[in-house]
Amino acid sequence: MAQTIIRIKTGLMKEYYRDFSKYAKGRLPEKKVAWVTAFTPVEILEALGISYYYPESYAAVIAASEKEQELLEESDRNGLCSDCCSYSGCFNGCLDLEEGPRGVPPKPDVLIATNNQCNTLPVWWNVLASRYKVPLIVLDYPGEASDTKASLEYVTLQHKELISRMEELSGNRLDLSKLEELTENSRRSVEAWNKVISYLPVKDIKATTLFDDINFLITARCRPETAELYEMMAEETEKLDAADKEKIPLFWLGYPLWYHNDRYLSECLSDFRIAGANYITWWSLDYSGDDVFERLYNAYDRTFLNLKQSSRDRRLSELIKASGAAGAVVLHNKSCKCDFVSARNVALPQVELDIDMIDRRYLDVERAKERIALLKETVCTG
């Protein structure tokens, strides 16, 4: 089974990167290309045979390959100041220099941004639209704070408009049953992934694995292989040894540190084990609903960062309870203002660290060590 898991992962990765400049070597993509944000209803694009790429994910890949600094500096020189989200600085720097670990993604025919995660992404996409002079579509998801009936109607109108514009771009007609099938694939992927992450509090799993493997739920959630992959991973994970009970269970509240080999501060946390993390639940979208449009609405309008604070508090409290965590590391992320506020009502001994998920210069490791030592003392004597 382990071989099959590797085979599926490799296959998905190979397909995703095949049109990046390092591998394409001048070959043009066969399909139309969209650049999308991480919570775009990609089931619609997949159904219409449009390739889609995630600049945010690629920024994470760049940071993981330790290439982010020169790219951040380049985009800063070109006017995108360092206060902006580092995903954008890193990715735009990659475009400016045409350099990245896998080259650059194929040029977009359309740019699609959503505001169900933050409002920075649509403005970043505006900058990309100015560079490539291609159509920009911004999908507006009002979120839980708005009246459900009105927002369902509004979001559905936008989804139908997106279909119509993507039909025109691709020259294909949407087969509604295909869209339903792909949405069901996404639901299955989420279900299987939830099973995988449910073992984190009780099994000997390194958080790194989950921070990395969620990538398939982000970039290929509606592919049948993804559900298959996660179902197998869940079976394998179940067979792992039990978690080390000597170590203090900890909740990681915020993004992975993409530039870090382990994606978290492993060097400061030798007495701890990560028993829970909110990031690995963000793509656990709710695909319930009476028809495919209601399913897409529920999935994409009610993303974690589009919920009311009270719902986020409730969701986090359930996750923390399920993890059995005795303390939390809360990340004050320069690049994500919307996420930090999620943690403001977490009632758990915690240490708050200033970081950036891409730019390593924001982290003071020595200070983090001191503060984590204090957290350990609080938890052990509390």
Partner 1 sequence: MKILSFSGFVPEQICDTVRFTQYTGDRNISHYCGYASDFISRVLKDDSIDGAVYPRTCDSTRIISSYLSDSGKFHFGISIPPAGAVGADAFLASSFREYKEALEKHFDISIGDDVIRDRAEKIDRRNACIRKLCEERESHSFADHLGAIHGLLEKPLSDREVLPVIRKCDASDRKVFVIGSFLSNIKIAGHIDEAGLTVVGDSLPESGRLASVRPVKPSGDIFLDIARSMLSMRLSPTQDSFRQIMETDMEEIGRSSAKGVIYITQKYCEPYDYLYSIYKDAAAALGVPVLRLQLNDTEDDRKVSLALEAFADTL
Under rule CB under 8 A, residue 367 binds partner 1:
no
Residue 130 Cβ vs partner 1, minimum distance, rounded to whole Å: 5
Residue 6 Cβ vs partner 1, minimum distance, rounded to whole Å: 39
| 3-state secondary structure at position 113 | strand
Helices (H), the chain: 2-17, 21-24, 42-47, 55-64, 68-77, 86-97, 120-132, 148-170, 176-198, 207-213, 215-219, 224-238, 292-301, 309-323, 337-340, 365-381
Under rule CB under 8 A, residue 311 binds partner 1:
no
Among 29, 101, 103, 142, indicate the residue that binds partner 1 (CB under 8 A).
142
Helices (H), 251-355: 292-301, 309-323, 337-340
Under rule CB under 8 A, residue 158 binds partner 1:
yes
Which are the contacts of 42, defined by CB distance < 8 A and separation ≥ 6? 36, 52, 221, 222
Under rule CB under 8 A, residue 118 binds partner 1:
yes
Cα four-point dihedral sign 139, 144, 145, 150 = positive
Alpha carbons 213 and 355: distance in angstroms, whole number: 22
Residue 139 Cβ vs partner 1, minimum distance, rounded to whole Å: 8
Alpha carbons 49 and 153: distance in angstroms, whole number: 26
Instruction: Count other Cβ atoms within 10 Å, centred on residue 50.
Output: 22
Under rule CB under 8 A, residue 357 binds partner 1:
no
Q: Which residue has the tokens 């109108």?
A: 157
Q: Which of residues 184-203 bind partner 1 (CB under 8 A)?
A: none
357 versus 379: smaller Cβ distance to partner 1: 357
Among 7, 344, 361, 367, indicate the residue that binds partner 1 (CB under 8 A).
344
247 versus 332: smaller Cβ distance to partner 1: 332
Cα four-point dihedral sign 17, 101, 106, 208 = positive
Piece of 17-25, 30-38, 210-218, 340-348 that binds partner 1 (CB under 8 A)? 340-348
Under rule CB under 8 A, residue 80 binds partner 1:
yes
Under rule CB under 8 A, residue 368 binds partner 1:
no
221 versus 334: smaller Cβ distance to partner 1: 334
Residues that bind partner 1 (CB under 8 A): 78-81, 83-85, 88, 113, 115, 118-120, 122-127, 129-130, 136, 138, 140, 142-143, 145-147, 150-151, 153-154, 157-158, 161, 308-310, 332, 334, 337-338, 340-341, 344
